[in-house]
Amino acid sequence: MRQIIIFGVGSLAQVCCHYLTNMTPNIVAGFVVDSKYKESDALMGRPVITTDEMLDVFPPDSFDLLVAIGYSNMRNRLSTIERLSTKNYNFTNLISDENCDGVINGINNIILPGSIIEPFTCIGNHNIIWSGAHICHNVTIDDNNFFASGSIIGGYTNVSNGCFFGFGSIVKENINISTETLVAAGAVIIKDTEVSSKYIGVPGKKIGDLSDTGVII
């Protein structure tokens, strides 16, 4: 049994605390947040401390870390994870095993109950797969991607880094999803996407370039 600290205090962090408490034997010891975002000393009956305090209060040799911050700015999310990685914590995964038949090679993944991960799928680091998402067989997912409820990724698809898939979005089989692709809610992708691009509609049509900002929701 390990003690876990959660970075973040928003809705995702609270959902992760709930599932870690109810699905695993691990103990959630508290929450960590950058000082400018700290509004309270406690959340869900656990202490909230700042990043400046975390090494002293929750030393890395005794606590694992789960980064549970949202997807509103995917580049900022990754830079926060990279900053925290210098503090020498072991990153943990939150994975519901009920429908997960893929291979989780990476760290700091959040795969919620009710999602489906079919066999021969490989998942990298720092991904969020929400309840109701469906990842088909032989899919490769790299790092720092978000899959909303109802999103479907067809078999033999490759998903690169920093991508976002909105509610009810669909990617057909044998597709390459390039870095920083934003697939809007309800969009259907039937061909390979371009780097740093936003797609909407059925079939999905590129409507914007995200090179300057990355994916921002």
Ranges of H-type helices in 58-213: 74-85
Query: Would you say the C-alpha torsion 29, 12, 42, 78 has a positive or negative sign?
Result: positive
pLDDT in the model for residue 25: 76
Token representation of residue 215: 């994916």
Token representation of residue 51: 């990043």
**Band of pLDDT at residue 45, cut at 50, 70 and 90:** very high
Q: Can the peptide bond before residue 47 be classed as cis, meaning omega within 30 degrees of 0?
A: no
Strands 197-200 vs 181-183: parallel, antiparallel or unpaired: parallel
pLDDT digits (tens, 9 = 90+) for 47-69: 999 999 999 999 999 999 999 99
Spell out the domains of the chain, with CATH numbers in brackets: 3-91 (3.40.50.20), 94-201 (2.160.10.10)
Residue whose entry in the numeric block shows the structure tokens 């609270």: 14
pLDDT in the model for residue 60: 96
